[in-house]
């Protein structure tokens, strides 16, 4: 079976580094026609664009890569980002709501403003961008090959082993997963599938602080004995975006090596 995303158009938020960049790489390596990436920093956008264009060339592909900087937590910037995308493409097959942030502190020190900031990006901006991009997703949607929304949730949305006080983060991830399941039902008649990916720990700028402190325990308690790697996520993204996965809708897919079944908190 040959999985691909040939002739498709995708948007990946937070596509300049970490898991978002892995998503973009998976799409570019497997035939995407046009990919739009975004993050706050213009320089990071340009560097990721160049990286993805080089990757396409190395793989004998001719992906068009568009990079548009935007802070999606700022309502007007999200609206403007959508406007800029709509000027360049007339439909979208794949929308990956990946941009996210975290904050960890003990309950007594954990400010309400920190909670609001995390929820604003990880939940409100995910809702807002999905709302903005749904009309473009509908334009690409067909019965045989629905458009896809992928929400980058987290394994913390279904387990209870928060070891560093990520109160806003864990709430935001449970919220986006629940939003995803509900949208999966509501959007199915409009031929848009909605699925959430629940990564375990992957070394990225966001996760490296925690991995430095608890990496040994996270690895030792993981049934697969290691953290997540780029290829683990890329395979899942390609599958969920492929025509072959057109009947997969409303899932929360853990990509954690089974870590959720062996709570590391018990070992601290």
Ligand X SMILES: NC(=O)c1ccc[n+]([C@@H]2O[C@H](COP(=O)([O-])OP(=O)(O)OC[C@H]3O[C@@H](n4cnc5c(N)ncnc54)[C@H](OP(=O)(O)O)[C@@H]3O)[C@@H](O)[C@H]2O)c1
- By annotation, the residues acting in catalysis are 169
CB of 18 to ligand X, least distance (A): 2
- Of 141 and 259, nearer to ligand X (C-beta) is 259
Out of 35, 65, 73, 236, which residue is the one contacting ligand X (CB under 6 A)? 73
User: In terms of DSSP H, where are the helices of 66-224?
Assistant: 75-88, 112-119, 125-140, 167-187, 208-220
Out of 10, 152, 233, 236, which residue is the one contacting ligand X (CB under 6 A)? 152
Stretch binding ligand X (CB under 6 A), from 54-62, 128-136, 199-207, 235-243: 199-207
CB of 189 to ligand X, least distance (A): 28
**40 counts as binding ligand X under rule CB under 6 A:** yes
Out of 161, 204, 244, 262, which residue is the one contacting ligand X (CB under 6 A)? 204
Determine how many CB atoms are found less than 10 A away from the CB of residue 191.
17
C-alpha–C-alpha distance, residues 260 and 221, integer Å: 10
Name the 3-class secondary structure at 143: coil
Name the 3-class secondary structure at 38: strand
**154 counts as binding ligand X under rule CB under 6 A:** yes
# of chain residues touching ligand X (CB under 6 A): 28
Out of 4, 17, 91, 164, which residue is the one contacting ligand X (CB under 6 A)? 17
Please state at what angle helix 42-58 crosses helix 18-29, rounded to 10 degrees.
30
**161 counts as binding ligand X under rule CB under 6 A:** no
**222 counts as binding ligand X under rule CB under 6 A:** no
Stretch binding ligand X (CB under 6 A), from 23-31, 33-41, 103-111, 214-222: 33-41
Secondary-structure breakdown of the chain: helix, strand, coil percentages, each rounded to the nearest 5: 50, 15, 35
Nearest to 121 by CA among 37, 14, 217: 14
Sheet holding 64-67, edge to edge: 64-67, 34-38, 9-13, 94-97, 147-152, 192-199, 252-255
Which residues make up the interface to ligand X (CB under 6 A)?
Answer: 13-14, 16-20, 39-41, 44, 71-73, 98-101, 121, 152, 154, 199, 201-202, 204-207
């Amino acid at each position: 079976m040959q999985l691909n995303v040939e002739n498709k158009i995708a948007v990946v938020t937070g596509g300049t580094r970490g898991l978002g960049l892995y998503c973009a790489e998976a799409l570019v390596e497997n035939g995407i026609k046009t990919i739009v990436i975004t993050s706050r920093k213009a320089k990071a956008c340009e560097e990721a664009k160049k990286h993805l264009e080089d990757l396409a060339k190395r793989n004998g592909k001719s992906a068009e890569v568009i990079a548009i900087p935007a802070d999606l937590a700022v309502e007007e910037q999200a609206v403007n980002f959508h406007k800029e995308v709509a000027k360049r493409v007339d439909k979208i097959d794949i929308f990956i709501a990946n941009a996210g942030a975290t904050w960890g502190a003990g309950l007594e020190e954990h400010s309400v403003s920190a909670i609001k900031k995390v929820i604003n990006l990880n939940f409100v901006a995910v809702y807002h961008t999905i709302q903005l991009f749904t009309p473009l997703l509908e334009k690409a949607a067909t019965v045989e090959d629905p458009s896809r929304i992928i929400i980058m949730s987290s394994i913390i949305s279904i387990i209870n082993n928060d070891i560093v006080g990520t109160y806003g983060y864990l709430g935001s991830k449970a919220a986006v997963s629940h939003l995803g399941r509900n949208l999966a039902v509501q959007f199915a008649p409009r031929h848009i599938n909605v699925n959430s990916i629940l990564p375990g720990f992957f070394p990225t700028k966001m996760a490296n602080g925690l991995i430095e402190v608890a990496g040994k325990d996270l690895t030792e308690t993981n049934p697969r004995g290691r953290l997540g790697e780029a290829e683990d996520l890329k395979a899942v993204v390609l599958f969920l975006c492929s025509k072959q996965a057109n009947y997969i809708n409303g899932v929360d897919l853990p990509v954690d090596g089974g870590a959720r079944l062996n709570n590391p908190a018990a070992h601290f």
